[in-house]
C-alpha cells in the first residue's frame, strides 16, 4: 500500500495545523503501512484450502513456475471479455507472498487471452512472454524479466518482439544459461494472400534484440502452421517444433537453430517420427545432456500414444522408429512427461472409454525399456470414479508425484487428489492417494503442482462458485501429511497467564513441538518469532492433547503458534492466535489494536483507563479521509471495550485516532469479509 500525498494534505486541512499530534499520526500511519498481515499458514483441511492471491475476480490461464529452493511464481489473467490483464506473484513454500498480496500487473495495453508463456531464467528470474492487442490487425509480443521481489528489469512493457501488423498465431520462449531469451512465433499475413511465417528472435539480458527486424526466418509458406513449441539446446541454440498441414495431413516438423540464428538441421514428417502420422497432439521435453523426448498422438489411431528419445542431431536413440502405448477401445490423451532424478522418463496419460476416464503412469529407461513392466494407476485400480487432468513432476528419489481431478458418482464437483509413486512404482501416499481439495461447494480447475524441495508438493488451482473465483493452494509433505496436522489450536488468557492448547492426530515420526510468540510491533517493519517453550510428543496412535503456559514479561498484543518438528526435518506450523496481554495491575492509559469480530458485522476497540475519562475515537480510511467520530462519555477504570458496526465499510485497511485527556494514539484496523465458502 502507498500513502497518497494529497490524502495527507486533506488530513492537514481537516485537522488544522500539523502539530505534535499530526506528526505522530502520520508517522504511525507510514510505519503501519509497512507492516504486513501476520503469518497466514497453509490449511490442514482439504475442505477449506488456503487462498494464495487476494482480490482476484475471474482468473484464467493460471500457471505456476517452480523457483527451486525459494518458492514459485504464479501467473494468471483477469478475464474481461476477450482480453485479460496479466498478473504475477512470487510465493515461498509456506504460501506467503514475496510482495503485494494482489500481485503485479504486467501488461500496458489490452492483453490477449492466448496463454502467456513463462519460464525460469538466469538468477531465478521470471521471463514472461505475452501478446498485447492494439487493434484487430495489430498484435504485439512483449517480453519482460522480473525478480521474485517484484522488480522489473526493463522499462514499460519490456522488449517488443514484433513490429509489423501480422497476426500472431502461436508463440514460445526459452532462456539459456547466459541469460539470453529466445522467442519464436507464428505470424499470419492478412488477406488477400495468407502466408504463415515462423520467426526467431534472441533477446539479451539487457532487453536488446540480437537479430534485425522481427527476427530471422525459420519457415514461411501458405501452409497452415500451428502448435509451436521450443526447447533450449546446450550451445545456446534452440529446437523449434510445429505442426504444418500438407496434403490434408498434420505433419510434425523440427528445426535446430543455433545462437546466431543459422539452421543446423531440419527434419519433417516420416523422416522425424518414422511414419506417416496425421498428428493430433504432441509434446516435446528436454532430456538434459542427451537430447529430447517426443510423444505424439495420431488422428488415425486415437487408442495409441507414440514416443521416441532423440539426440541433439535429431537421430533416434531407441532402436525402433518409435514405441507405442496402446489400449483397446480407449482414447488416450497426450501424455504428461518428466525426467526423474534417476535419469529415467516418467510417462503418464488419461485413458478414456465410453463410461470412464482413468489415469495411467509408467517409467522408461534411457534404453527404452519399460522399468515398471506395466502402467500403474495412482489410486485403487477398481475405482469407479472418473479421473482426469493429470499433472506429473519428479520427486528427489527416482519416483514421481502425480495430482489429478477425481469425480465420484453423485459428486457435485471434482476433488483434487495427489499420489507419490516410488522408484519401483510403489504407492507412498496410501492406496487411494491423498485429498488435496475436496470441497463439494466449489468447482476446481487449472491444477498445477510444484515440488517443495522436501519430496512433497505445493498444489495451486482455481476454485469457483456461481459468482466467486479465487486462486487457492495446499501443501503436502513427503510423509503424506498436510502442512499442519495440528488441530484445535487455541489460546486462553486468565489471571495474567496465557495457556496455549492444541491437539494432534497421528503423531508417528514427530520429534517435538516448539511454542513460539511474537509481539505485534506496529512501529517496526517486522516482528520476530521467539521460542518460549518445548513440548515432548506422546507419540500416540490416537489424538494427543497438549498445553503450555506462558506469562510474558511485557504487556502488548502477542501472536502465538506451535511448530511440529517431523523426523525428516519438516516443520508443520499451526494457525496463529492473537492475545492482548495487558495485566490488570496497569495504571496507565493504553489502546489495544482493534479487531473485527469473527463472523460478525462489527469491530471492537479496547483500551485501558486508570480513571474514568471522556474518550473520542476518529475513524479514517487508507487515504486518511475521516469517516466517523465517536464520543464516549461513560467509561470506567480498567479495560473498556467499544463495539461499532463496521460492515458498512468496504474491506481494507483503516486507522483510528484515540484521544483521552492529553493522551493520543493511532492504531490500524483491518476490516474483511468472512470466507465465501
What's 512's domain CATH number?
2.60.40.2150
Name the domain boundary from 509, 544, 575: 575
Q: In what order do the strands lie in the sheet with 291-298?
A: 279-287, 291-298, 301-311, 323-326
**What are phi and psi for residue 525, nearest 5 degrees?**
-80, -25
212 and 267 co-located in one domain: yes
438 and 508 co-located in one domain: no
Q: What pLDDT, on a 0 to 100 scale, did the predictor assign at position 507?
A: 65
Q: What pLDDT, on a 0 to 100 scale, did the predictor assign at position 205?
A: 94
Stretch (H or E) spanning 559: strand 556-566
> Do 258 and 265 meet the contact criterion of CB atoms below 8 Å apart?
no
DSSP 122: G
Is residue 63 classed exposed, middle or buried when 0-12, 13-18 and 19+ CB atoms within 10 A define those classes?
middle
CA 4 – CA 469 distance, rounded (Å): 30
252 and 187 co-located in one domain: yes
Asked whether residue 55 is assigned to any structural domain, the reply reads no
DSSP 478: T
Sign of CA dihedral 517, 522, 523, 526: positive
431 and 456 co-located in one domain: yes
- How many domains does the chain contain in total? 4
**What are phi and psi for residue 270, nearest 5 degrees?**
-60, -35
177 and 250 co-located in one domain: yes
**What are phi and psi for residue 11, nearest 5 degrees?**
-60, -40
CA 420 – CA 400 distance, rounded (Å): 6
CA 294 – CA 513 distance, rounded (Å): 48
Q: What pLDDT, on a 0 to 100 scale, did the predictor assign at position 16?
A: 44
Task: Compute CA 404 distance to the chain's CA centroid, rounded to the nearest angstrom.
Answer: 17
Strands 83-91 and 71-80: antiparallel
Stretch (H or E) spanning 25: helix 19-33
| b/e 621-659 (16+ beta carbons within 10 angstroms → b) | bbebeeeeeeeeeebeeeebebeeebeeeeeebbbbbbb
Helix H, strand E, coil C: the string for 225-280 is EEEEEEEECCCCCEEEEEEEEECCEEEEEEEEECCCCCEEEEEECHHHHCCCCCEE
CA 376 – CA 391 distance, rounded (Å): 15
Q: What pLDDT, on a 0 to 100 scale, did the predictor assign at position 521?
A: 57
CA 340 – CA 13 distance, rounded (Å): 65
Asked whether residue 462 is assigned to any structural domain, the reply reads yes
Nearest to 606 by CA among 653, 563, 566, 555: 555
Strand boundaries in 122-248, DSSP class E: 126-135, 138-146, 159-160, 167-175, 181-188, 196-203, 216-221, 225-232, 238-246
- The pLDDT tens digits of the residues spanning 162-192 come to 877 788 989 999 999 999 999 999 999 887 8
490 and 468 co-located in one domain: no
Sign of CA dihedral 145, 147, 152, 154: negative
DSSP 138: E
Strands 216-221 and 196-203: antiparallel
CA 331 – CA 290 distance, rounded (Å): 31
491 and 467 co-located in one domain: no
Q: How many residues does the chain have?
A: 677
Sign of CA dihedral 362, 363, 364, 369: negative
Asked whether residue 136 is assigned to any structural domain, the reply reads no
Asked whether residue 202 is assigned to any structural domain, the reply reads yes
301 and 205 co-located in one domain: yes
269 and 390 co-located in one domain: no
Is residue 401 classed exposed, middle or buried when 0-12, 13-18 and 19+ CB atoms within 10 A define those classes?
buried
Report the phi/psi class of residue 278: left, alpha or beta, with left for phi > 0 and alpha for psi in -120 to 50. beta
381 and 529 co-located in one domain: no
273 and 314 co-located in one domain: yes
Nearest to 105 by CA among 130, 87, 118: 87
Nearest to 408 by CA among 344, 456, 337, 357: 357
Stretch (H or E) spanning 295: strand 291-298
Q: What pTM was estimated for this model as a whole? A: 0.70
**What are phi and psi for residue 353, nearest 5 degrees?**
-105, -170
Please identify every stretch of the chain with a pLDDT value under 50, giving residue numbers as ranges: 1-18, 28, 30-41, 484, 523-525, 541, 674-677
Asked whether residue 81 is assigned to any structural domain, the reply reads no
> Do 152 and 208 meet the contact criterion of CB atoms below 8 Å apart?
no
CA 293 – CA 310 distance, rounded (Å): 6
Q: What pLDDT, on a 0 to 100 scale, did the predictor assign at position 527?
A: 64
Asked whether residue 238 is assigned to any structural domain, the reply reads yes
CA 334 – CA 349 distance, rounded (Å): 7
Q: What pLDDT, on a 0 to 100 scale, did the predictor assign at position 568?
A: 58
Name the domain boundary from 538, 558, 575: 575
Looking up cell 467499544 gives 642
Within 87-130, residue ranges assigned H as helices are none
Sign of CA dihedral 44, 45, 46, 50: negative
Looking up cell 475513524 gives 619
CA 102 – CA 649 distance, rounded (Å): 20
The CB density around residue 492, as the number of other CB atoms within 10 Å, is 13
Name the domain boundary from 287, 319, 351: 319
Domain that holds residue 654: 5-37+583-671
Spatial neighbors of 81 by CB under 8 A, at least 6 apart, are: none
CATH number of the structural domain spanning residue 30: 2.60.40.10
174 and 315 co-located in one domain: yes
Radius of gyration of the chain measured on its C-alpha atoms = 29
CATH number of the structural domain spanning residue 221: 2.120.10.10
- The pLDDT tens digits of the residues spanning 254-267 come to 999 999 999 999 99
> Do 170 and 186 meet the contact criterion of CB atoms below 8 Å apart?
yes
> Do 479 and 566 meet the contact criterion of CB atoms below 8 Å apart?
yes
Asked whether residue 378 is assigned to any structural domain, the reply reads yes
Asked whether residue 49 is assigned to any structural domain, the reply reads no
Amino acid at each position: 500500500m502507498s500513502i497518497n500525498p494529497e490524502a495527507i494534505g486533506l488530513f492537514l486541512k481537516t485537522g488544522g495545523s500539523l502539530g505534535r499530534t499530526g506528526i505522530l499520526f502520520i508517522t504511525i500511519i507510514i510505519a503501519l503501512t509497512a507492516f504486513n498481515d501476520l503469518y497466514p499458514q497453509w490449511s490442514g483441511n482439504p475442505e477449506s484450502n488456503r487462498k494464495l492471491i487476494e482480490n482476484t475476480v475471474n482468473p484464467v490461464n493460471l500457471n505456476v513456475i517452480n523457483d527451486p529452493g525459494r518458492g514459485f511464481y504464479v501467473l494468471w489473467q483477469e478475464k474481461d471479455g476477450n482480453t485479460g490483464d496479466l498478473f504475477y506473484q512470487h510465493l515461498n513454500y509456506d504460501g506467503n507472498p514475496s510482495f503485494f498480496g494482489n500481485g503485479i500487473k504486467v501488461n500496458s495495453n489490452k492483453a490477449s487471452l492466448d496463454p502467456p508463456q513463462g519460464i525460469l531464467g538466469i538468477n531465478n528470474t521470471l521471463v514472461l512472454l505475452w501478446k498485447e492487442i492494439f487493434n484487430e490487425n495489430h498484435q504485439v509480443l512483449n517480453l519482460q524479466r522480473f525478480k521474485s521481489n517484484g522488480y522489473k528489469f526493463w522499462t514499460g512493457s519490456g522488449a517488443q518482439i514484433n513490429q509489423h501488423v501480422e497476426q500472431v498465431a502461436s508463440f514460445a520462449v526459452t532462456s539459456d544459461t547466459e541469460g539470453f531469451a529466445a522467442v519464436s512465433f507464428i505470424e499470419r499475413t492478412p488477406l488477400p494472400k495468407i502466408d504463415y511465417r515462423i520467426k526467431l528472435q534472441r533477446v539479451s539480458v539487457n532487453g536488446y534484440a540480437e537479430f534485425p527486424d522481427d527476427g530471422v526466418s525459420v519457415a514461411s509458406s501458405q501452409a497452415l502452421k500451428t502448435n509451436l513449441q521450443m526447447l533450449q539446446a546446450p550451445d545456446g541454440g534452440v529446437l523449434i517444433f510445429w505442426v504444418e498441414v500438407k496434403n490434408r495431413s498434420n505433419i510434425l516438423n523440427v528445426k535446430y537453430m543455433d545462437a546466431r540464428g543459422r539452421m543446423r538441421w531440419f527434419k519433417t514428417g516420416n523422416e522425424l517420427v518414422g511414419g506417416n502420422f496425421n498428428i493430433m497432439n504432441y509434446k516435446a521435453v528436454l532430456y538434459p545432456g542427451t537430447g529430447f523426448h517426443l510423444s505424439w498422438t495420431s488422428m488415425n489411431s486415437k487408442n495409441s500414444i507414440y514416443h521416441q528419445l532423440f539426440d541433439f542431431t535429431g537421430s533416434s536413440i531407441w532402436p525402433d522408429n518409435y514405441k507405442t502405448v496402446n489400449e483397446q477401445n480407449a482414447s488416450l490423451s497426450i501424455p504428461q512427461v518428466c525426467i526423474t532424478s534417476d535419469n529415467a522418463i516418467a510417462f503418464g496419460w488419461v485413458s478414456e472409454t465410453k463410461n470412464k476416464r482413468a489415469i495411467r503412469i509408467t517409467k522408461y529407461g534411457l534404453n527404452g525399456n519399460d522399468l515398471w513392466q506395466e502402467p500403474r494407476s495412482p489410486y485403487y485400480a477398481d475405482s469407479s470414479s472418473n479421473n482426469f487432468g493429470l499433472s506429473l513432476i519428479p520427486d528427489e528419489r527416482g519416483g514421481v508425484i502425480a495430482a489429478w481431478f477425481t469425480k465420484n458418482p453423485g459428486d457435485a464437483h471434482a476433488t483434487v487428489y495427489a499420489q507419490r509413486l516410488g522408484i519401483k512404482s510403489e504407492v507412498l501416499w496410501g492406496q487411494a492417494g491423498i485429498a488435496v481439495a475436496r470441497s463439494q461447494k466449489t468447482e476446481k480447475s487449472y491444477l498445477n503442482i510444484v515440488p517443495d524441495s522436501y519430496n512433497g508438493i505445493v498444489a495451486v488451482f482455481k476454485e469457483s462458485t456461481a459468482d466467486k473465483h479465487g486462486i487457492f493452494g495446499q501443501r503436502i509433505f513427503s510423509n503424506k501429511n498436510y502442512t499442519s496436522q495440528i488441530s484445535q489450536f487455541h489460546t486462553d488468557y486468565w489471571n495474567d497467564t496465557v495457556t496455549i492448547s492444541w491437539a494432534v492426530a497421528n503423531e508417528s515420526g514427530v520429534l517435538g513441538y516448539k511454542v513460539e510468540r511474537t509481539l505485534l510491533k506496529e512501529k517496526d517493519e517486522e516482528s520476530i518469532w521467539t521460542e518460549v517453550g518445548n513440548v515432548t510428543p506422546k507419540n500416540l496412535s490416537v489424538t494427543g492433547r497438549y498445553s503450555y503456559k506462558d506469562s510474558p514479561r511485557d504487556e502488548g498484543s502477542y501472536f502465538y503458534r506451535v511448530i511440529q518438528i517431523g523426523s525428516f526435518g519438516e516443520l508443520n506450523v499451526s494457525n496463529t492466535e492473537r492475545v492482548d496481554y495487558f495485566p490488570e495491575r496497569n495504571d496507565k492509559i493504553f489502546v489495544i489494536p482493534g479487531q473485527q469480530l469473527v463472523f460478525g458485522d462489527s469491530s471492537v476497540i479496547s483500551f485501558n483507563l486508570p480513571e474514568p475519562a471522556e474518550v473520542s475515537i476518529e475513524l479514517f480510511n487508507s487515504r486518511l479521509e475521516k469517516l466517523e467520530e465517536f464520543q464516549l462519555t461513560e467509561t470506567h477504570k480498567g479495560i473498556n471495550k467499544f463495539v461499532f458496526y463496521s460492515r458498512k465499510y468496504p474491506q481494507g485497511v483503516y486507522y483510528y485516532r484515540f484521544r483521552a485527556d492529553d493522551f493520543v494514539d493511532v492504531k490500524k484496523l483491518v476490516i474483511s469479509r468472512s470466507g465465501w465458502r
